[in-house]
Amino acid sequence: MTDAQPSADRRLAAQALAANDPTGWFEPLYAEAAAGGTVVPWDRAEPNPLLVDWLTAGSIRQGARGLVIGCGYGTDAEFIAAQGIRTTAFDISPTAIRGARARFPQSPVTYTVADLLHPPAAWLGAFDLVIESITVQSLPPEVRRSVITSIQDLLAPDATLLVIADIATAPAPGPPWPLTAADIDAFAAPTLTPVRIERLPRPDAPGRQRWRAEFHRPAEHAASHS
């Protein structure tokens, strides 16, 4: 691939951003992949290892209500559901959701199409565990504040948010647009409490790092429903 031939995700993202539609490139990417014309660069056969060791070492109770943001083909969602968490997983791409259902036909996960920037009203304050893994970084910095607020509003009182994202080391043309320390701090303000903010090696990319950041919504705080 040369500079004159950008990857499918960057080509489609540039088209969507030119149309002032920051989420408009996901469905074309998944549709192009379904037709065999490209691959989804973040698709994996195994759940994210930074999620796996966090969840298996943690104390999320069985029966908790979990939400996976930007679930793609569902690999992370299936792992979470296997831990006894009542899991809902969504993506803005209908093709991605069809792919997840086809890949896991006996799944206990509730897969649905939804827009993180405009989540269903019934989801506000509804989840005990919210997983955000590399979705925020796939949206341009111009909408980051709105996206973070939408994520915060999904948490029930006494809920946990886990954020996994690449660490920004320099300005990036994107996608992705990795997260800075200020971006991670923004997940806490004003109603969440940081529990543990880690910089960890990327298992699939030696020499690179990812954030793994855990936040807690105190029991006395409900979602803003703004």
pLDDT bucket at 6, cuts 50 / 70 / 90: low
Q: What does the pLDDT look like over 31-53, one tens digit per residue? A: 999 999 999 999 999 999 999 99
Helix runs in the chain, H state only? 8-18, 26-34, 49-57, 75-82, 94-103, 144-152, 181-188
**Residue 88 in this model has a pLDDT that exceeds 50:** yes
Exposed / middle / buried, residue 187 (Cβ in 10 Å: 0-12, 13-18, 19+): buried
- The 3-state DSSP composition of the chain as helix, strand, coil percent (nearest 5) reads 30, 25, 45
**Token representation of residue 179:** 């997260």
**Residue 206 in this model has a pLDDT that exceeds 90:** no
Q: Which helix (H) or strand (E) holds 108?
A: none
Q: What are phi and psi of 66, to 5 degrees?
A: -110, 150
> CA 114, CA 121: separation in Å to the nearest integer?
11
Mapped onto helix, strand or coil, the DSSP state of residue 46 is: coil
The fold of 45-216 is Rossmann fold (3.40.50)
**Residue 156 in this model has a pLDDT that exceeds 90:** yes
**Residue 202 in this model has a pLDDT that exceeds 90:** no
pTM of the shown model: 0.92
Q: What does the pLDDT look like over 92-148, one tens digit per residue? A: 999 999 999 999 999 999 999 999 999 999 999 999 999 999 999 999 999 999 999
Place of tokens 């997940």: 187
Instruction: Specify the pLDDT at position 7.
Output: 86
Mean pLDDT of the chain: 92
pLDDT bucket at 58, cuts 50 / 70 / 90: confident
Quickly count: other Cβ atoms within 10 Å of residue 62's Cβ: 8
**Residue 225 in this model has a pLDDT that exceeds 50:** no
